[in-house]
Amino acid sequence: MLFRSLAQFILSAVSFHNFKKNNGFTLLELVIVIAILVILSGIIVGTFVIFNQTAGVSKDAELVLETLRLARSQTLASKNETQYGVHFSPTSITLFSGSTYSPAASGNQIFSLHAGDSLSVNLVSGGDDVVFDRLTGATPDAGTTTITVANSAASKSVTIYSTGLIQSSSL
C-alpha cells in the first residue's frame, strides 16, 4: 500500500495522467517503485563499502600501533632477557624476539592485515624492522608506516620516534 501511494504521488506530481480508483498496480507504478528501490540500494551499498574500508584501515593501524607498543613494553620489561621488535611486510606484521628478524623463528607472532589493505614502511634505517633498546626503549629505526586500501583514499599512518614513542595519525 505504501509503494502504491508513493507511486501515485510521484505520478500525479509530474502529471502523467489522472488516476482512477482501481484494485491493481499498473506497470508504470511498479517500474517507478523498483527504480526508487534500486537507487536507494545503490546508495546504501556504496556507503557501506566506504565505511568498511575506513574501518579496516583504522583497525589495521591500531594493530600496528599496539604491536609496536607490545614489543617496546616487552623489551623494557626484559622479558626472556632479550629485545623485541616488529617486522613489516606489505600484508602482515610480525612480532619477534631478538635483535634481528628471522622468518623461521618459532616464537614469531604474525598478524595479517585486512584483505585489500597494504602497508608501506619508511624507516630511517631503510629496513623493514623496528627493534627497541633494552634499557631505554628507544630505537634507531624511527620512521612511519602507512596503511592504505587499494582503489581508495582511505589511509592511516603510524609514526615511530627515535625515543620509542609511537603515535597514530587521524584519518
Instruction: Say if 164 falls within a structural domain.
Output: yes
Residue 136, domain member (yes or no): yes
Query: In this structure, is residue 20 part of a structural domain?
Result: no
Examine residue 114 and state whether it is found in any structural domain, yes or no: yes
Please check whether residue 88 is in contact with residue 119, taking contact to mean a CB–CB distance below 8 angstroms.
Answer: yes
Residue 33 lies in a domain: no
Q: Residue 96 pLDDT more than 80? A: yes
Structural domain containing residue 60 = 46-168
19 within domain boundaries = no
d(CA 23, CA 51): 43
pTM, two decimal places: 0.74
Query: Residue 94, SS3?
Result: strand
Residue 151 has pLDDT above 60, yes or no: yes
Tell me whether residue 85 is in a domain: yes
> What average pLDDT is seen over the chain?
86
Q: At residue 109, does pLDDT exceed 70?
A: yes
pLDDT band at 171 (very low <50, low <70, confident <90, very high): very low
- Chain centre distance of CA 96: 24
How many residues comprise the chain? 171
Task: Answer yes or no: is 36 within a domain.
Answer: no
The whole-number pLDDT of residue 154 equals: 80
pLDDT at 51: 83
CATH number at residue 139: 3.55.40.10
Query: In the prediction, which pLDDT does 41 show?
Result: 94
The domain total for the chain is: 1
Long-range contact list for 109-117, CB < 8 A, 24+ apart?
111/63, 111/67, 113/60, 113/63, 113/147, 114/56, 114/57, 114/59, 114/60, 116/53, 116/56, 116/149, 116/150, 117/56, 117/57, 117/60, 117/91, 117/147, 117/148, 117/149
